[in-house]
Amino acid sequence: MVLSKKLKQRVGILAVVFTALMGFGSAALSDNHGGKHERAIGANAGDACVKETSWMRRNHMELLKHDRDRTLRQGIRPVEGSIKGCVDCHANKNDQGAFIPVDAEGEFCSGCHTYTAVSLDCFECHATKPDVSRVKRAGK
Amino acid sequence: MSKDENRSEQQAHEAQVVDAARRRFLGQAAGATAIIAPGVTLMTIAQADSGAAAEGASSAKRWGMLVDTNKCETGCNDCVDACQQENGWGAGSSDEGLSDSRQKAQWIRTVTVRDKETKHTTQLPMMCQHCEEPPCVNVCPTGASMKRADGIVLVDKHICIGCRYCMMACPYKARSFIHESLHDQKSHAPRGKGTVESCTMCVHRVDRGDQPACVERCDKGAMMFGDLNDPNSQISRKLARVSSTQIRADLGTKPSIRYSGI
């Protein structure tokens, strides 16, 4: 009984957090791109993420950290939580058609992270733009 | 360890309960934004260029190389160039402008050995020897220096703290340290300041069934790559036929890279 009460409380708190999260997610994106939602999500994003959007919003960090070990240490590829995959889909293009780094100010990953004061070290090593040839080949 | 497991089980259970409630909540409140249908997992670009390695590296294989030094031409630098282009270090990259040549990245280099008596010189490529008993792995305090099930020795840069013990432990001088911030890395070869790196035997290529870039580039036929565990592989058959050595075999590191003609 006590436990379930606690749980209910936690669910309540979480629910509030998520409403906020979803709100600011779209707010941040439309702020930075004058409401051009599609462009903000990424030039090659298609219409769905690797998992449910609402799940991704909450759990992408866990997915990435889980799958990076599977890939690097166990050699398992492809994986859903591929950071290369995120970049391939979520990098936007500028007016000249060149890719903009995903960690540039106001871009897909960093726009939300700046808002939530999350700082990543991933892009000190990982490419921030898709390999053009790779995307072309895969999209053949 | 077991405490941790207990805790994470409990957390997983809690998460499930919370998750169900969350989903209900999202279903009611979020309208079109939250698609509740289960199993919405779509093809990703990464999945589209799927390799053979969906099940991961296996100890049934042991990747190795045989270098025929008789075919390695003095002055030729093709394997080094190929590695640099593939993995985005050294010439042509935006690497380490402030570092000197002793500090710069060096995944593979050519070494010239000279017989003092006959004056005969031999060139050979030197890189991570992917030892079966790697000293770099033994000394690593974090577990970053590691050997995959298929024998490829790597740095897990996610947990590398840059202590450089492995560089000191390696008898082949195969590892280097990144001193400066980098940019424009290759997407398949992430590299960054404060971590150690070395030849990865091009795992990203091997995992999709290709050969390492150096082997593919060498048109002198001096480098052969393959599975040392498979007695019928080209490399195993050649190793059975010609005499070859492991460099500093006396140290007992049991390298996967073998050399013939020295």
CATH number at residue B38: 3.30.70.20
The whole-number pLDDT of residue A133 equals 53
Q: Residue A69: inside a domain, yes or no?
A: no
Give the nearest chain A residue to B50 (CA atoms): A78
The whole-number pLDDT of residue B54 equals 58
Taking an 8 Å cut-off on Cβ atoms, the answer to whether A82 and B158 are in contact is no
Q: Residue B21: inside a domain, yes or no?
A: no
The answer to whether B190 touches B21, Cβ cutoff 8 Å, is no
The whole-number pLDDT of residue B97 equals 82
Could you list the residue range(s) of the whole structural domain that residue A97 is in? 83-139
Q: Residue A88: inside a domain, yes or no?
A: yes
Q: Residue B18: inside a domain, yes or no?
A: no
CB of A125 within 8 Å of a chain B CB? The answer is: yes
Range A98-116 average pLDDT: 92
The whole-number pLDDT of residue A79 equals 85
Q: Domain count of chain B?
A: 1
Q: Residue A117: inside a domain, yes or no?
A: yes
Could you list the residue range(s) of the whole structural domain that residue B74 is in? 31-260
For residue A117, the tally of other CB atoms under 10 A from its CB is: 6
**Nearest residue to B91 via CA among B102, B105, B112, B103:** B105
Backbone φ and ψ of B109, nearest 5°: -145, 165
Q: What's this model's pTM, rounded to 2 decimal places?
A: 0.81
Interface of A with B in 19-78 (CB under 8 A): 19, 22, 26, 44, 46, 48-54, 68-70, 72-78
Taking an 8 Å cut-off on Cβ atoms, the answer to whether A54 and B41 are in contact is no
Taking an 8 Å cut-off on Cβ atoms, the answer to whether B35 and A7 are in contact is no
Q: Residue B150: inside a domain, yes or no?
A: yes
Top residue of A11, A125, A133, A137 to mutate, by most chain B CBs within 10 Å, is A125
The answer to whether B145 touches B158, Cβ cutoff 8 Å, is no
Q: Residue A2: inside a domain, yes or no?
A: no
Taking an 8 Å cut-off on Cβ atoms, the answer to whether B46 and A68 are in contact is no
In which band, very low, low, confident or very high, does the pLDDT at A44 lie, cut at 50, 70 and 90? confident
Taking an 8 Å cut-off on Cβ atoms, the answer to whether B44 and A80 are in contact is yes
pLDDT > 50? residue A35: no
Helix, strand and coil percent figures for chain B, each rounded to 5: 30, 15, 55
DSSP structure string for B122-160? EEEEEE----SS-HHHHH-SSS-EEE-TTS-EEE-TTT-
Q: Residue A42: inside a domain, yes or no?
A: no
Taking an 8 Å cut-off on Cβ atoms, the answer to whether B185 and A126 are in contact is yes
The whole-number pLDDT of residue B14 equals 47
The answer to whether A112 touches A33, Cβ cutoff 8 Å, is no
Taking an 8 Å cut-off on Cβ atoms, the answer to whether B34 and A87 are in contact is no
Q: Domain count of chain A?
A: 1
Q: Residue B217: inside a domain, yes or no?
A: yes
Q: Residue A128: inside a domain, yes or no?
A: yes
Counting as low any pLDDT under 50, the low residues of chain B are 1-10, 12-53
Residues in A closer than 8 angstroms to B17, CB to CB, are 7
The whole-number pLDDT of residue A1 equals 38
The whole-number pLDDT of residue B137 equals 97
* Chain B closest-CA separation from residue A127 CA (Å): 5
Q: Residue B156: inside a domain, yes or no?
A: yes
The whole-number pLDDT of residue A40 equals 80
Tokens of A83: 């950071």
Q: Residue B243: inside a domain, yes or no?
A: yes
In which band, very low, low, confident or very high, does the pLDDT at A132 lie, cut at 50, 70 and 90? low
The whole-number pLDDT of residue A20 equals 45
